[in-house]
A and B are shown apart, each in its own frame.
Chain A
Amino acid sequence: MAAPILQIHDTDVFYGASQILFGIDLAVERGQTLALLGRNGAGKSTTFKAIAGIAPPRRGHIALSGQTLSGKPPYLVARAGIGYVPEDRQVFPEHTVEDNLIVGAKPGPRGDRHWTAARIYELFPVLAGMRHRMAGRLSGGEQQMLTIARTLMGNPDILLLDEPSEGLAPIVVRAIGDLIRTLRGMGVTILLAEQNMHFCLGIATHATVIDKGQVVYSDTIDALRGNDAVMQRYLAV
């Protein structure tokens, strides 16, 4: 087994006095697309915020390629190679599409600049056609694409996508799914938080299920698909 690129070890996260995550263990290997599945309020977004340095863990250890992330402020976590795409599509609404990409542009952790605006537009032809439009005027799906594209501009080692399909029409959800598959095909490592199990089938390679802030299952996505008990108990499918 290859050494994981992102590793979360026995991590607790609190919001004030209330504990949200209980001893989370999670490992993502290079090239994997790991689905982090769980119901509403299970703690998926909190896990992402813990990784991103926005909700620092009170206990435990988070590392990227062996480098400790826990304790670092968000901007250093990002520079270390975490590409965090938060839920609810936080584009800069009064910036053009292109300016959103420009704000996200930075070299990767080893100084590499694989992703340029030109490459982004190749991958996201929709965005190419509206590069001078205000991001606030884009549709929900286009904004979701833009937030992913903007984070890619920072040349991350791993992409954290928090419910990219949330609140989008089925046809748009399919387009986002195709995009994630394409990224996976390009070798991008992805951690994908979802409630929607069906969205993850055919996209993710592996799955980790959390419930009430604890990891309850972890295996390949195919194994999860064959495990009705887990799916019914934790995912309400």
Chain B
Amino acid sequence: MNLDVLASCFATASCAVTQVSTGLIVGMLLFLVASGLSLIFGVLGVINFAHGAFYMLGAYFAFLCFEQTGSFLAALVAGAAGAGIIGVLFERFFMSKVYGRDLLMQLLVCYAAILIFDDLVKILFGAEYKLMGMPESFATAPVEIAGGFIPGYYIFMLGMSLGIGLLLWLGINRTRLGKVIRALAINPQMVGALGINTTLLYAGVFGLGCMLAGTAGALAAPVRSLTPGMGLSVLIESFIVTVIGGMGSIPGALAAALLIGLTRAFGAIGFPLFVDGLMFALMGLVLVLRPSGLFGARAT
């Protein structure tokens, strides 16, 4: 433990700023992945154990598109859309066959998908680490706040993920489609009797959830190294986030993701060997004090 280092980091503005920005970035990426996981669970009642694979797919789609076009915007769209489309196909051909079945059955289908996607990526891109590199438009001098330096791309990522989170929240709470989706989560038979194609909607929601994971992967691509299997740790962390925030709650996912991000950033200084343990400890604490998570278990 390096508690004195941690204390001195809190005491120096520059260190605090740097760590907070790192924590926010980690947190916001987690938020995007976890909100997709949470959305799928809230509406379809299944846990998409393959969610991390869609994060990976998003990153690789973005990587590929960036190599081809050199446009980071196109890469972002490719990452989101690619993961979304594959998500819809995965739901239609595999996941929808195990709705209402044993949890173990669903887990197996997802685990198979993880292995297949990982191997496909290995075949297409190789097993070694890939670096996409920072898009030129972000290769500017970092922004200085109170002596701490924040890369321009971090600010972009923060804005993007906050914007996406806000859009998602507004979409679910304010649009007719969002209201239908929330109704679907509660009473699918009634929604069908009102003339809504619930099968199509399930596929759409699943795809949207995967798209959120893919977007996170694409946003992470310039700052993380890409490797087959990169989805696993993200998956586990998003589980922790949904447990802390409350399954099905988007504001809960945001709060919990930021909590985890900051815990990671500061934990890396204070308890470098116990960062993962710290996250689980946090989860355990929340489970004991508020078993349904910070924001309950509503599908909103």
A interface residues, Cβ below 8 angstroms from B: 52, 54, 73-75, 78-79, 84, 86, 90, 92-95, 99, 102-106, 150-151, 154
What residue in chain A is nearest B300 (Cβ atoms)? Answer: A94
What residue in chain A is nearest B199 (Cβ atoms)? Answer: A73
What residue in chain B is nearest A106 (Cβ atoms)? Answer: B195
A26 CA to B12 CA, complexed, in Å: 82
Q: A73-B192, A74-B189 are in contact. Are A99 and B198 (CB under 8 A)?
A: no
A151 CA to B194 CA, complexed, in Å: 7
Known pairs A93-B186, A102-B176, A103-B179; list 11 more (Cβ under 8 Å).
Answer: A54-B193, A74-B189, A75-B196, A75-B197, A79-B195, A103-B194, A103-B196, A104-B194, A106-B194, A106-B195, A151-B194
Complex A-B: 18 CB contacts under 8 Å: A73-B192, A74-B193, A75-B197, A78-B195, A79-B195, A86-B193, A90-B187, A90-B190, A92-B183, A92-B187, A94-B186, A102-B179, A103-B183, A103-B191, A105-B176, A106-B195, A106-B196, A150-B194
Which B residues from 173 to 220 make CB contacts under 8 A with A?
176, 179-180, 182-183, 186-187, 189-199
A79 CA to B193 CA, complexed, in Å: 9
> Does B290 touch A at the CB level, under 8 Å?
no
Q: Which residues of A contact B130 (CB under 8 A)?
A: none
> Does B298 touch A at the CB level, under 8 Å?
yes
Q: For the complex formed, measure the closest distance between the CB of B205 and the CB atoms of chain A, giving whole angstroms.
A: 15
Q: Which residues of B contact A103 (CB under 8 A)?
A: 176, 179-180, 183, 191, 194, 196
B190 touches A95 (CB 8 A): no
Q: Which residues of A contact B198 (CB under 8 A)?
A: 75
A52 CA to B189 CA, complexed, in Å: 11
A75 touches B192 (CB 8 A): yes
Q: Which residues of A contact B183 (CB under 8 A)?
A: 92, 95, 103
A95 CA to B183 CA, complexed, in Å: 8
B190 touches A78 (CB 8 A): no
A106 CA to B196 CA, complexed, in Å: 9
B190 touches A86 (CB 8 A): yes
Most buried by B among A104, A105, A151: A104
Q: Which residues of B contact A86 (CB under 8 A)?
A: 190, 193
A94 touches B190 (CB 8 A): no
Q: Which residues of A contact B195 (CB under 8 A)?
A: 75, 78-79, 106, 154
Give me the 4 closest cross-chain CB pairs, A-B, nearest first: A78-B195, A74-B192, A92-B183, A90-B190
What residue in chain A is nearest B298 (Cβ atoms)? Answer: A94
Q: For the complex formed, measure the closest distance between the CB of B177 and the CB atoms of chain A, giving whole angstroms.
A: 10
Q: Which residues of B contact A151 (CB under 8 A)?
A: 194
Q: Which residues of B contact A105 (CB under 8 A)?
A: 176
Q: For the complex formed, measure the closest distance between the CB of B4 and the CB atoms of chain A, giving whole angstroms.
A: 50
A93 CA to B300 CA, complexed, in Å: 13
A150 CA to B194 CA, complexed, in Å: 8
Q: A102-B179, A103-B179, A106-B194 are in contact. Are A54 and B189 (CB under 8 A)?
A: yes
